[in-house]
Amino acid sequence: MEVIGFSTLLTTMMHEQGATIILRGLRAVSDFEYELQLANMNRAQNPELESVFLTPAVENSYISSTIVREIAKLGGDISPLVHPQVAEALRNHYTS
């Protein structure tokens, strides 16, 4: 693997490098909307290019407090998602 800098279009650099896959990370739905537009524009510039999207590990992503509360309410383990004091407070709240 090699890291290179460039000051041209991504599609131009990819062609020069003989690369055909663009690997991108997504954190939230809003990222996907923007990245999809970029992927479509890149493909319009070079139909050989393919974009691949990766989602982050839980500790590196946005998590809705509503989802955390729902997991806690239904007895799920939220300890990897929140501070220990928050996990304890939610457990106490939903078990009382």
- Closest CA relative to residue 17, chosen from 56, 49, 55: 49
pLDDT tens readout for residues 23-60: 999 987 788 999 999 999 999 999 999 999 999 887 77
Instruction: For residue 88, give every residue at least 6 positions away whose Cβ sits within 8 Å of its Cβ, in sequence order, or none.
Output: none
- Closest CA relative to residue 53, chosen from 27, 86, 18, 81: 27
Using a pLDDT cut of 70, give the percent of the chain over it: 99
pLDDT band with cut points at 50, 70 and 90 for residue 89: very high
pLDDT of residue 62: 75
pLDDT of residue 57: 81
Q: Is 63 left (phi over 0), alpha (psi -120 to 50) or beta?
A: beta
pTM reported for the whole predicted model: 0.62
Is the pLDDT at 71 greater than 90? The verdict is yes
Q: At 77, is the secondary structure helix, strand, or coil?
A: coil
Percent helix, strand and coil across the chain, each to the nearest 5: 50, 10, 40
List the domain boundaries for the chain.
Answer: 1-59, 63-96
The CATH number of the structural domain formed by 1-59 is 3.40.50.620
